[in-house]
């Protein structure tokens, strides 16, 4: 049998706290966060071919086509920092991507656990509309719930905090629609495999983190 790796799939509506938690888990578990949204935003900023392709989809709040996204993740997983596994944040996002991810990870034992961070729609909207993101390092803040020490400035690298174009209300509505239509079916998909773990995402950032670490440790005994 080939080596086992730890692949964790974070599920949850946009704004649930996946990115915030993935960044903390990265430190706690020593596994890299793979955020397809962050990779697309990096490409957008640097005006790469991939960025140009992704832009119109992201501006509308639609999913970037599967072939492009799947290939991008496949390449990312081959980087040396992914040799022990990865924390997936925003991928897979529909059933086609989930099947492709199963195939990619099958030689290493497949997905270990799929925690679902649950928050209701009202809280989601409050979180997304107050979200601010660092232009340089991608760190995520909230103007009320998780403010930076100095307004508008990233605690980590001093970068400028901005509101993502797709965090404005019109696009948010479409992103929620896309989530329920395309991404929510993954809940049943991972439940059927016995991998789904529900986490109350309305708790504090620290409490959610502790709950996540508990379900991950349970799935992956030391």
Query: In the range 71-90, which residues lie near ligand ADP by CB under 6 A?
Result: 90
CB of 167 to ligand ADP, least distance (A): 7
Residue closer to ligand ADP by CB (options 136, 204) is 204
Q: Which is nearer to ligand ADP, 67 or 194 (by Cβ)?
A: 67
Q: For residues 6 and 191, is the Cβ–Cβ distance under 8 A?
A: no
Q: CA 209 from chain center: how many Å?
A: 14
Q: How far is the CB of 37 from ligand ADP (least distance, A)?
A: 2
Does 126 qualify as catalytic in the annotation? no
Min dist. Cβ of residue 220 to ligand ADP (A):
22
- Name the residue number minimizing CB distance to ligand ADP: 37
For ligand ADP, which is the closer residue by CB, 6 or 36? 36
CA distances from 219 to 17, 18, 114 (A): 21, 19, 10
Instruction: Give SS3 for 152.
Output: coil
Through-space distance between the first and last CA atoms of the chain, rounded to whole angstroms: 19
| E strands present in 11-119 | 33-35, 85-89, 111-118
Contacts with ligand ADP in 159-188 (CB under 6 A)?
166, 175
Q: Are 12 and 118 in contact (CB under 8 A)?
A: yes
Q: Which residues pair with 113 in a beta bridge?
A: 8
Binding site for ligand ADP (CB under 6 A): 12, 14-20, 36-37, 40, 57-58, 61-64, 69, 90-91, 93, 97, 127, 130-131, 140-142, 145-146, 166, 175, 204-205, 208
């Amino acid at each position: 049998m080939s080596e086992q790796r730890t692949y964790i799939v974070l599920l949850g509506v946009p704004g649930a706290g996946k990115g915030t938690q993935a960044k903390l888990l990265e430190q706690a578990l020593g596994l890299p966060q793979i955020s397809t949204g962050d990779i697309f935003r990096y490409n957008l900023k640097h005006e790469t071919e991939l960025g140009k392709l992704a832009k119109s989809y992201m501006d509308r709040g639609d999913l970037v086509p599967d072939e492009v996204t799947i290939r991008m993740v496949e390449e990312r997983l081959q980087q040396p920092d992914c040799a022990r596994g990865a924390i997936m944040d925003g991928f897979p996002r529909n059933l086609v991507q989930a099947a492709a991810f199963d195939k990619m990870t099958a030689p290493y034992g497949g997905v270990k656990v799929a925690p679902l961070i649950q928050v209701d729609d009202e809280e989601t909207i409050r979180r997304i509309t107050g979200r601010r993101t660092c232009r340089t390092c991608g760190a995520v803040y909230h103007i009320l719930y998780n403010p930076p020490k100095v307004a508008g400035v990233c605690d980590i690298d001093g970068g400028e905090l901005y509101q993502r174009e797709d965090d404005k209300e019109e696009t948010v509505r479409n992103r929620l629609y896309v989530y329920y239509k395309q991404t929510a079916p993954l809940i049943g998909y991972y439940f059927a495999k016995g991998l789904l773990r529900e986490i109350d995402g309305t708790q504090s950032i620290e409490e959610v983190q502790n709950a996540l670490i508990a379900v991950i440790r349970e799935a992956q005994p030391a």
